[in-house]
C-alpha cells in the first residue's frame, strides 16, 4: 500500500479570482505529505485507544465487579449516557473550534485541551467503585474526547483535496481498528488491573495527540471571517430539506453504525454465554476469545481500508462502494444468528472486517464532499459524528431488551443485519456524489 504523494501539507492560498476567502477556509488542492498523514494517524490512534480500551474490556470488567447481577443493564446505562454526552459535545466543540481565532489556529487549542482532559478523566475513572462514579467518569471522558474528535475530523477537509480523501481516510481508518487491538493488548497484557489500565491509556492519549497538535500547520482564522456567535446554537441544526445529500449521508451512517454498535455491544458476553467459549477452552476467559476476534477483524480492516480508499479516489465513485460494504457487513450478523459457534465467529470477524474497512474509508471521504459550508466544517462533521455516537445510545436501548426478553442473540443479530442493509440502500439517495 502506498502513502499519499509527498508534497507540501500547507493549505492552499486563496484563489486568484478575486475572492477574499482566507487561507483557513480555502478548499485545499495540494496533496498532503506522508508525515502529516502519519501525525494525524498517531493522534487518532491515541483517541481510539481511549474510546475502545474502556468499551471493550475495562468498563465491562469494572462493572462486573461492581454490579455482577446486573452487568448488562448497568453497562447499557454507562455506555448509553456516555455516548449521549459525546453526541451533544462533538458538534458543539466543532462549532466552537470553527469560531476560534488567535495565532495558535482554530484546531490546535481544542486538540490539546481534549487530550489533557481526556487523560485526566481516564486516570480518575480507574478509581471509581460505584456505578454512579463510573457513569460520571465515563461521561466526562466522552465529553473531553469529543473536543479531540471534532478537531481531528475537521483536519481532513481543512487540509486534504477531494481527490486524495479516500486514501487519507483509509490511512486514518487504520488506527481506528488498530486502536482496538492496541488498547485490548495494553489493558490485558501490559497493565493488568483496572486502574493501571485506565492510567496507561490516559498517558498514551497525550503521547499520541500532542505531536500532531504542536507540529501540524493550523492557519489562524481572521476575526472578520469568524461565523457569528449569535448563530452558534441555530447552526447546530442542518436542514435536510436545504441540504438533502448531507441528510442522506447522515442517515446512511446512522443506520449502518447502529447495526454495527448492536453487533459489538455484548460481544464479550456473547462469547461467554452464547458461544460458551470458557467451556470450549477450559482455563481461558471470554476476554481471550474477544482478543482473538479483534485481531482477526483488525487484520481484515487494515488489509482493505486503504486499498478501498485508493480505489474510490481513482474511479471517482463512492456510493456503490458504501452500498457494497453494507451488504458485506450484514452477512456476519445473519450467520451468527443461525450458527453461534466459535469457528463461525472467526469467519464472521474476517467478513465484517472486510466490509467495515471499505465503509470506513469510502464513507468518510463521501461525507466530506457533502458538507454545507467551509465555515462550519468542524461543526458539520460533529453533526455527522452524531450518526456514529447516536447508535451507542440507541444500541443499548434496543439490544438490551432483545437479549434479555425478545429472543436473545439470534434475534439481536438478525436485527443488526437488517439495519445495516437499510443503511446501505439509503446511500443511493445521495445525488451530488458519484
Instruction: Determine the pLDDT at residue 20.
Output: 66
For 360, list phi and psi in degrees, rounded to 5: -60, -50
Question: The domain spanning residue 329 has which CATH number?
Answer: 1.20.1250.20
pTM of the model: 0.82
pLDDT for 178: 83
Phi, psi of 433 (to 5 degrees): -125, 135
pLDDT of residue 1: 45
Helix intervals (H) in 216-243: 232-235
Query: 240 vs 92, 133, 297, 371, CA distance in Å?
Result: 19, 38, 34, 12
pLDDT at 64: 87
Residue 25 lies in a domain: no
In a domain, 313, yes or no: yes
Q: Is 22 domain-assigned?
A: no
Res 7: pLDDT: 42
Number of domains in the chain: 1
Q: Has residue 248 been placed in a domain?
A: yes
Kindly state whether residue 19 falls inside one of the protein's structural domains.
Answer: no
CB 428 within 8 A of CB 319: yes
Tens digits of pLDDT across the chain (434 residues)? 444 444 444 444 444 343 567 888 888 889 999 999 999 999 999 999 998 888 878 998 899 888 888 887 888 888 888 888 988 899 999 999 999 988 888 999 999 999 999 999 999 999 988 999 999 999 999 999 999 999 999 999 999 999 999 999 999 988 987 887 788 888 888 877 888 999 999 999 999 999 999 888 888 888 888 888 888 888 889 999 999 999 999 999 999 999 998 888 888 888 988 888 888 888 888 888 888 898 898 899 999 999 999 999 999 899 999 999 999 999 999 999 999 999 999 999 999 999 999 999 999 999 999 999 888 899 999 999 889 878 877 887 788 888 888 888 999 999 999 999 999 999 999 998 98
Segments forming the whole domain that contains residue 38: 31-223+240-429
Q: Is residue 50 part of a domain?
A: yes
Is position 4 within any domain?
Answer: no
Characterize 287-306 residue by residue with b for buried, 16 or more Cβ atoms within 10 angstroms of its Cβ, and e for exposed: bebbbbbbebbbbbbbebbb
Does residue 193 lie in a domain region?
yes
Q: Sign of the CA dihedral 302, 84, 420, 262?
A: positive
User: In whole angstroms, what is the distance from residue 243 CA to residue 87 CA?
Assistant: 21
Amino acid at each position: 500500500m502506498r502513502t499519499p504523494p509527498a508534497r507540501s501539507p500547507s493549505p492552499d492560498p486563496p484563489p486568484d479570482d478575486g475572492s477574499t476567502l482566507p487561507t483557513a477556509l480555502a478548499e485545499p488542492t495540494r496533496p498532503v505529505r506522508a508525515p502529516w498523514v502519519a501525525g494525524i494517524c498517531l493522534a487518532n490512534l491515541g483517541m481510539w485507544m481511549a474510546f475502545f480500551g474502556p468499551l471493550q474490556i475495562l468498563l465491562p470488567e469494572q462493572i462486573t465487579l461492581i454490579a455482577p447481577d446486573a452487568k448488562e443493564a448497568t453497562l447499557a446505562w454507562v455506555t448509553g449516557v456516555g455516548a449521549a454526552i459525546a453526541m451533544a459535545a462533538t458538534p458543539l466543540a466543532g462549532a466552537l473550534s470553527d469560531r476560534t481565532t488567535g495565532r495558535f489556529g482554530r484546531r490546535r487549542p481544542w486538540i490539546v485541551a481534549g487530550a489533557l482532559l481526556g487523560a485526566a478523566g481516564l486516570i480518575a475513572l480507574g478509581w471509581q467503585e460505584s456505578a454512579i462514579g463510573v457513569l460520571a467518569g465515563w461521561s466526562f471522558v466522552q465529553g473531553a474526547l469529543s473536543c479531540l474528535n471534532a478537531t481531528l475530523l475537521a483536519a481532513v477537509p481543512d487540509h486534504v483535496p477531494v481527490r486524495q480523501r479516500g486514501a487519507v481516510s483509509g490511512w486514518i481508518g487504520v488506527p481506528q481498528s488498530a486502536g482496538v487491538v492496541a488498547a485490548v493488548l495494553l489493558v490485558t497484557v501490559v497493565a493488568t488491573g483496572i486502574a493501571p489500565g485506565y492510567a496507561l491509556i490516559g498517558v498514551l492519549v497525550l503521547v499520541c495527540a500532542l505531536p500532531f497538535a504542536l507540529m501540524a500547520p493550523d492557519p489562524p482564522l481572521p476575526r472578520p471571517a469568524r461565523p457569528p456567535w449569535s448563530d452558534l446554537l441555530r447552526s447546530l441544526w442542518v436542514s435536510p430539506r436545504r441540504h438533502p445529500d448531507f441528510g442522506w449521508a447522515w442517515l446512511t451512517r446512522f443506520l449502518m453504525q447502529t447495526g454495527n454498535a448492536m453487533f459489538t455491544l455484548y460481544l464479550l458476553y456473547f462469547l461467554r454465554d452464547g458461544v460458551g467459549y470458557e467451556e470450549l477452552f477450559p482455563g481461558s476467559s471470554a476476554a481471550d476469545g474477544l482478543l482473538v476476534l479483534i485481531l482477526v477483524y483488525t487484520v481484515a480492516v487494515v488489509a482493505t481500508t486503504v486499498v478501498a480508499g485508493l480505489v474510490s479516489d481513482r474511479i471517482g465513485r463512492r456510493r456503490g462502494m458504501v452500498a457494497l460494504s453494507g451488504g458485506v457487513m450484514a452477512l456476519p450478523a445473519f450467520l451468527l444468528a443461525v450458527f453461534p459457534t466459535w469457528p463461525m465467529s472467526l469467519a464472521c470477524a474476517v467478513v465484517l472486517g472486510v466490509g467495515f474497512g471499505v465503509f470506513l474509508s469510502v464513507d468518510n471521504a463521501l461525507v466530506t464532499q457533502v458538507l454545507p459550508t467551509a465555515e462550519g466544517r468542524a461543526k458539520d462533521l460533529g453533526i455527522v459524528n452524531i450518526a456514529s455516537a447516536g447508535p451507542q445510545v440507541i444500541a443499548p436501548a434496543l439490544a438490551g431488551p432483545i437479549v434479555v426478553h425478545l429472543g436473545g442473540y439470534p434475534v439481536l443479530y438478525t436485527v443488526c443485519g437488517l439495519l445495516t442493509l437499510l443503511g446501505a440502500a439509503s446511500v443511493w439517495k445521495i445525488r451530488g456524489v458519484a
